[in-house]
């Protein structure tokens, strides 16, 4: 069940609200934090900028869902070289309401490097293993059952023909078949175990309150409490100003919005200076046979032959998403009308690029700037050629990369056109943002300590992807949730 009728929802609020703990943001990090704190008997208020959108309100992976659940329709552009479009969930439950529910534990060597280079206490794989195990049990994480989709089968076939290692990713869908519907519970009904169906619901059951459609503008410290200046009904025509007083604040707005809020509040030292991303280049492939069922789900097959340097995956291939990708090929746009059932979107992802987050006077959203090095682009170029080889080996007739090349790629020989990715003509995207407020021990240039407390700001914490020290190399949601759980238990004195 969803939470749209839960008594913990605040529809109308007074001009002043008091709570013990305010959690700003309701995505994976904020939801896990709120659940643990509420179950410990603490007075918790969850504040979410986006609206509450019931799972049944819009079709999964449709234009309507993009407009209602994503910030800026899912197409916010980060400046720099090359241009990167990034997506942020902006609704109750955050990105968990729109993502694929894929689940990967952080590789042990990544955690060992964080522990060593950033001097973080209790961050090794052995330290995080109990948190991963608990989350996996709570969400019912496992392999999807039944036959894989035709789109996944093409990626698997290409990998087999070229001798590449590949796998079926773990997921929290727990569906009876690979392509699942949106919404989600963890009880095996074939739906996504999103935060609104799991941790947020459990937090409200434990006594937490939820204030949606509410934007936190600034935080300020007054005496021994935090004062949050917010706009309730922030998307409406006449938003109301509200002040929230809290003893403790956990900011979990995501790797862009969290540093933006801290900086608006005058907390700037090392904040927003080290934004990281998984840079992704997409390739739309047209095959001879039908591969697209049209139900909008995310196929879960992945090629990990070149991990951790790069991963190749399937992507959402609904007609709306195909249309967005084919805008780069206007002379072939009619492919969507005639051939969409034979088309699928695939992606090559590398861990590269750094950026920063800054607020601009008069603008609601912050400026995000990315820069990929020549080495990053070279790795992405190699990865895109390898992915293209797999798709051609699986029988693709034409490839449409998100690079302005003058036309599709129709043979292995033409893959050499991807050997150099021009910065101005390459259109990248990412749904994985992190590291803008990284954790670190004493003596490191990190704005938060080993457990997410903001340095120089009493009783203020970060609880989202901002905390990750560098690229986790895998889908970051499991990492975010495990670290949020670890840090919340530390806050409660249970570690």
Locate 186 and state its tokens: 């963890």
Q: How far apart are CA 180 and CA 98, in angstroms?
A: 12
Contacts by 111-119, CB closer than 8 A, 24 or more apart:
113/469, 113/470, 114/439, 114/469, 114/470, 117/469, 118/438, 118/439, 118/440, 118/441, 118/444, 118/446, 118/469, 119/440, 119/441, 119/442, 119/443, 119/444, 119/450
Helices 125-139 + 477-491 axis angle, to 10: 110
- What distance in Å separates the CA atoms of residue 294 and residue 291, rounded to the nearest whole number? 9
Nearest to 118 by CA among 446, 490, 460, 456: 446
Is 278 known to be catalytic? no
Q: Which of 131, 232, 270, 432 is catalytic?
A: 432
List C-alpha distances in Å: 341 to 14, 28, 159. 52, 33, 22
Q: Is the dihedral of CA 433, 437, 441, 444 positive or negative?
A: positive
CA separation for the pair 132, 140 (Å, rounded): 12
**Residues noted as catalytic:** 432
């Amino acid at each position: 069940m969803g939470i749209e009728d839960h008594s913990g929802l605040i529809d109308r609020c007074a001009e002043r609200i008091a709570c013990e703990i305010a959690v700003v943001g309701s995505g994976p990090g904020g939801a896990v934090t709120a659940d643990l704190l509420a179950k410990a008997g603490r007075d918790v208020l969850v504040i979410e900028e986006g609206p509450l959108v019931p799972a049944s309100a819009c079709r999964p992976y449709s234009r309507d869902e993009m407009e209602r659940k994503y910030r800026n329709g899912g197409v916010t552009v980060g400046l720099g070289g090359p241009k990167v479009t990034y997506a942020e969930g902006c609704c109750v439950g955050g990105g968990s309401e729109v993502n694929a529910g894929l689940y990967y534990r952080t590789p042990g060597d990544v955690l060992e490097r964080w522990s060593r280079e950033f001097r973080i206490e209790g961050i090794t794989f052995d330290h995080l293993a109990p948190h991963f195990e608990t989350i996996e049990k709570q969400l019912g994480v496992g392999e999807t059952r039944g036959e894989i989709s035709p789109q996944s089968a093409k990626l698997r076939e290409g990998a087999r023909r070229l001798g590449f290692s590949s796998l079926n990713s773990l997921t929290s869908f727990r569906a009876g078949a690979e392509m699942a519907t949106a919404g989600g519970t963890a009880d095996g009904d074939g739906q996504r175990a999103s935060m609104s169906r799991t941790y947020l619901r459990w937090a409200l059951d434990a006594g937490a309150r939820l204030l949606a459609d509410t934007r936190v503008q600034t935080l300020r410290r007054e005496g021994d409490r935090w004062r949050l200046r917010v706009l309730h009904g922030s998307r409406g025509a006449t938003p109301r100003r509200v002040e929230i007083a809290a003893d403790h604040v956990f900011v979990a707005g995501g790797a862009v919005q969290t540093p933006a809020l801290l900086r608006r509040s005058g907390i700037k030292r090392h904040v927003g200076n080290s934004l990281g991303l998984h840079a992704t280049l997409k390739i739309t492939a047209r095959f001879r046979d039908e591969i697209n069922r049209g139900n909008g789900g995310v196929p879960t097959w992945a090629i990990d032959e070149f991990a951790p340097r790069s991963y190749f995956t399937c992507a959402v291939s609904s007609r709306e998403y195909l249309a967005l990708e084919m805008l780069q090929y206007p002379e072939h746009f009619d492919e969507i009308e005639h051939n969409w059932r034979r088309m699928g979107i695939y992606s090559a992802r590398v861990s590269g690029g750094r950026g920063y987050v800054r607020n601009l006077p008069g603008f609601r959203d912050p400026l995000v700037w990315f820069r990929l090095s020549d080495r990053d682009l070279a790795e992405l170029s190699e990865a895109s050629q390898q992915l293209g080889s797999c798709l051609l080996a699986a029988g693709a007739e034409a490839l449409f990369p998100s690079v302005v090349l003058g036309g599709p790629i129709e043979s292995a020989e033409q893959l050499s056109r991807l050997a150099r990715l021009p910065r101005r003509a390459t259109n990248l995207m990412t749904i994985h943002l992190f590291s803008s407020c990284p954790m670190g021990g004493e003596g490191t240039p990190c704005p938060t300590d080993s457990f997410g407390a903001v340095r120089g700001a009493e009783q203020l914490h970060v609880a989202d992807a901002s905390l990750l020290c560098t690229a986790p190399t895998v889908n970051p949601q499991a990492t975010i949730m495990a670290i949020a759980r670890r840090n919340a238990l530390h806050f409660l004195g249970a570690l």
